[in-house]
Structure 1
Amino acid sequence: MKLWLLDLDDTLLMDHQVSEEVLNHLGQEVGVEGLPQEVRKKAEGFFQEAPFYPWAERIGHSALEALWARYSTPGLESLAEWAWPFRERVFREALQEIGGPAERARELAEAFFAERRRYPLFPEVPGFLEALRAKGSILVLLTNGVPDLQREKLFGAGLGEAFSLVLISGEVGLGKPDPRLFRMALCAFGVGPEEAVMVGDNPERDVQGALLAGLRAVWVDRGHRSKDPRYPAHLEVQDLREALALLEV
């Protein structure tokens, strides 16, 4: 494979686990259990009421990310104004649901906003990327989300210079699984779909998009998404190094 398209969240960068850890820690601080599950449920429900929800869904910006995105990208000023009342409401109603101190909702929302800014890579990622570069592969990051948050994650994880091209859905106006986003990467380097592979953890967005664009697809099972039989990947792995076999394809 000549061109490798790589997802960011929960493929290269630990995302789900970090959010769970921070929310569990905050729950312990206020003496409640089940805060991660309740915050996710409330956030997803209230997020769907937002006037920009169709846009967020199209670019793959999640409800949980809305709890810590800065929305500093020009043009997102209205989201920045919307965000703090949303966050406070999420934590207040989540705490009420599990018998916690609802009066501390703003405090917990601010704490999550601050403490969630951690960007650990999965252990195999540095070696995996180095192996690809050593073989002369072209590396492209293909990630859904709002620009300022995805770039904060990218540089926070030390991957700012790791890719020949970075395509963020919120910048280009297209999100995975739209095959046009995948084809942008192909066109940028003059590579045919038979010479490219997409590696990601989300069957519906990463694998489906790759298949629609005619690319090979690698599904990375990180343990918190179920396999989707509607979108069969060419290869299923639990460690990115297992995908290196495709270097010789």
Structure 2
Amino acid sequence: MGARLWLLDLDDTLLQDLSVTREVLEALGEEAGVKGLFGAVRARAEALFRQAPFYPWAERLGHSALEALWARYSTPGLEGWAAWAWPFREQVFREALEALGGPAERARELAEAFFQRRRRYPLFPEVPEFLLALRERGAHLVLLTNGVPDLQREKLAGAGLLEAFSLTLISGEVGLGKPDPRLFRMAFCAHGVAPEEAVMVGDNPQRDVQGALLAGAKAVWVDRGHRPPDPRFPPHLAVRDLREALALLG
């Protein structure tokens, strides 16, 4: 029997994420007269994010340093994050600009510009056809995404995916993040499906592939060119286009 339950990751699986961040930052760098702003911001954001008082929680739930630069933190319970965020963002841009010999006095301006311009939600080109093919074959579709609730739901709304899934599990809402197999089992139980009838599709070997293997599901690794394969967690199938995974429908 082919896979009945399809667990789908969001960022860099269905939704173009890192490439949009890079494009926005590179454009802002050009406007500020510096080259390499994406790399400098990413390095400073990741280093400073590890010093945040909430970092262990963010790491466990899969909320990244780059996302912290544009999350609204409007979810009830994240008021502390909201108060922390703008000083963090300004410091990230100031240190990045200083490292590049750029106008550090424009740090707040650039941080605010990134916060506004980053709100783009393009899907990968094959996603509509892929999702339609799954639905036509009677597959159950579940979104399994790590991150803070308000940002992940904003992405879903912006990408037109709010109604695409029978169940949406966001790590920040349920308190469990991939690769914790309990998150996967929630989806199995909700649909009355055995692990071997499920497939997880995602771009992150450590979170998506490992989680699927721990939970007993099939794992499809989507190579978007951002992450290398991890030999510790071999997927059942590696693809570059989501439509290649339809072979698992049986």
- TM-score range with shorter-chain normalisation? over 0.9
Instruction: Please give the TM-score of this superposition, normalised by the length of structure 1.
Output: 0.99
Shift of 1:224: 1.1
Provide the residue aligned with 1:30 in structure 2: 32
How far apart are the structure 2 equivalents of 1:104 and 1:149?
A: 26
How far apart are the structure 1 equivalents of 2:199 and 2:82?
A: 36
How far apart are the structure 2 equivalents of 1:47 and 1:194?
A: 38
Provide the residue aligned with 1:217 in structure 2: 219
Provide the residue aligned with 2:123 in structure 1: 121
Q: Does 1:88 align with 2:101?
A: no
Provide the residue aligned with 1:52 in structure 2: 54
Shift of 1:202: 0.2
Instruction: Name the SS of the counterpart of 1:218 in structure 2.
Output: strand
Within a 5 Å distance, the mapping from 1:1-249 to structure 2 comes to 1-248=3-250
Which structure 2 segments of 5+ residues have no match?
none
Instruction: Name the SS of the counterpart of 1:99 in structure 2.
Output: coil
How far apart are the structure 1 equivalents of 2:137 and 2:192?
A: 18
Amino acid at match of 1:240: L
Instruction: Name the SS of the counterpart of 1:245 in structure 2.
Output: helix
Count residues with an aligned counterpart: 248
Instruction: Please give the TM-score of this superposition, normalised by the length of structure 2.
Output: 0.99
How far apart are the structure 1 equivalents of 2:192 and 2:224?
A: 32
Instruction: Name the SS of the counterpart of 1:36 in structure 2.
Output: helix
Shift of 1:199: 0.1
How far apart are the structure 1 equivalents of 2:233 and 2:140?
A: 25
Cα distance per residue 1:132-174 (max 9 Å; x no partner): 0000000000000000000000110000100000000000000
Amino acid at match of 1:213: A
How far apart are the structure 2 equivalents of 1:224 and 1:79?
A: 27
Instruction: Name the SS of the counterpart of 2:110 in structure 1.
Output: helix
Cα distance per residue 1:82-102 (max 9 Å; x no partner): 000000000000000000000
Which structure 1 segments of 5+ residues have no match?
none
Shift of 1:25: 0.2
Cα distance per residue 1:96-127 (max 9 Å; x no partner): 00000000000000000000000000000000
How far apart are the structure 2 equivalents of 1:155 and 1:187?
A: 26
